[in-house]
Amino acid sequence: MGRTVVSELWPDVGDLLPTDALDSIAAGAARADESGRPDPASLDLLRKIGWPALAIPTDFQGRGASLLESCAAQRLLGRADPALAVAVNMHIFTIGLTVEHWRRNSDVSWLLIEAIATQNRLVASAFAEPNLGGSATRSTLTAKQVPGGWEVTGKKYPCSLAAEADLVCLQVAAPGQDGAAPQVLVAMLPTNAPGLSVVENWDAMGMRGSASNTLVLDRCVIPDELVFYQAPAGAEDDDVLAAGVIWFSLTASAVYLGLAESALRAGRALLGTQRIAHLNSTRANLPSYQAALGDPYAALLTLEAGCAAVAARMDAGADPQRLLPAALAVKQQAVRTVPDFVSAIAEACGGASYARGGELARLWRDAQAVRFHPPTPVATRQFLGRSALGVPASLDLDESAPSLASKESR
């Protein structure tokens, strides 16, 4: 990779993610793609440099990275190994969610984040499920109350680093008490808890090294003391939830910005050496090829500026509810901008970019995964459209909008 050039848009996070560590991680990216598993040496290196404590406040023995600094670090990691970056982004998002919860509630959740920092624990995030439509505020897994906790059976998929992490953060549904609305419980469990197992069935086109396997819960009991958040199912008028969605939307977008920069680096190298014989010039020096990348690059720079600006506003104390549409807009733009940018580079490089073992082919495949992270594009599009019209908006897909109609009538 060579020495990282610090962008004017991002803080220098070289102390959090040294250049030599990035170079080592980049060296394992192709191996991870080929094997369909994260490179063990890269994971070990992240632990060695204290990556699990990145976004944990220094008061709790963490590295104290802000959201903007976390995005900057994830951008650099996305340049080195996008699949590893998107996998550990689930850890970053979970830490961000937990810290935001603690800041608003000042409860015993600080014990959890301090333990993660001091014990260098890696957290997997098991919020995705089949048949949810990308919702983060519901679960198809219904927990049954038992003495001391909640018993639950079901599957979480895809769950990045399910087999490699020390802890897993997950949400499950619980019946409401005395006729109240169903609840969603968010808890953190050790991955060696009784009733938890992993089925290694991840075999995707791209992001192959993210190890996004299936987490199976078989009569798994979640102790009451490990439930750190509870809210009505589908409820979104909550600062903690909004802050968590903002953390995920921005840090995930930063990963894909790093991927795009890596594709640009690879494209520069190819275009600078590929010659058009009858013009006696490299493609990089021809106006037609230069112009072909102009608009996609402008879109990428706009996305990068938006991501950094919204992260900075969150760090400055903006209201998460009011900032949420902007953060979701950043993520929604990434869904189009990054794949289009990588495709434009690949097209400019011609058949050389289509080689199965080539870096550009791998990055093109990895870029397609940006379409599938919740909140999904369909749900986000609906939310942003309703926000634009000034009507109540929800990240739950709601084709007939009965819940929104009831809000409007109140």
316 class by beta-carbon count within 10 Å (0-12 exposed, 13-18 middle, 19+ buried): exposed
pLDDT for position 392: 87
**Of the candidates 158, 279, 145, 250, the residue with the CA atom closest to the CA atom of residue 207:** 158
- Please tell me the predicted confidence (pLDDT) of residue 311: 98
Q: What is the pLDDT of residue 1?
A: 44
| pLDDT of 235 | 67
Mind listing the pLDDT tens digit for each residue in 335-361?
A: 999 999 999 999 999 999 998 888 999
Upstream peptide bond of 82 is cis (omega within 30 degrees of 0): no
pTM value is 0.93
Helix axes 320-349, 287-315, angle to 10 degrees: 160
5: how many CB neighbours lie within 10 A of its CB? 6
Rounded CA separation 40/26 (Å): 13
Mean pLDDT of residues grouped by 10 in the chain (410 residues)?
A: 61 95 97 94 96 96 97 98 97 93 85 93 91 79 94 95 95 82 89 96 95 96 91 76 94 98 96 96 96 97 98 97 97 98 97 90 97 91 94 81 56
Longest dimension (CA), the chain: 80
Q: Residue 69 corresponds to which amino acid?
A: E
- The tokens describing 409, both together, are 């009538």
Do the two domains 19-122 and 125-232 of this chain adopt the same fold? no
**Among 1.10.357.10, 3.30.70.120, 3.30.1490.20, 2.40.110.10, what is the CATH number of 125-232?**
2.40.110.10
* Cβ neighbour number for residue 302 with a 10 Å cutoff: 12
Q: Alpha-carbon distance 118 to 127, whole Å?
A: 25
In CATH, the architecture of 239-398 is Up-down Bundle (1.20)
Q: Domains of the chain: which residue ranges?
A: 19-122, 125-232, 239-398
H helices within 50-166, ranges in order?
67-80, 82-105, 109-119
pLDDT of residue 4: 41
Cα 84 to Cα 29: distance, rounded to the nearest angstrom: 8
**Per-residue H/E/C for 340-367:** HHHHHHHHHHHHHHHCCCCHHHHHHHHH
Residue 142 is given by DSSP the state: B
pLDDT at residue 5, rounded to an integer: 43
- Name the 3-class secondary structure at 183: strand
Place of tokens 């986000």: 380
Q: Which CATH class is domain 19-122?
A: mainly alpha
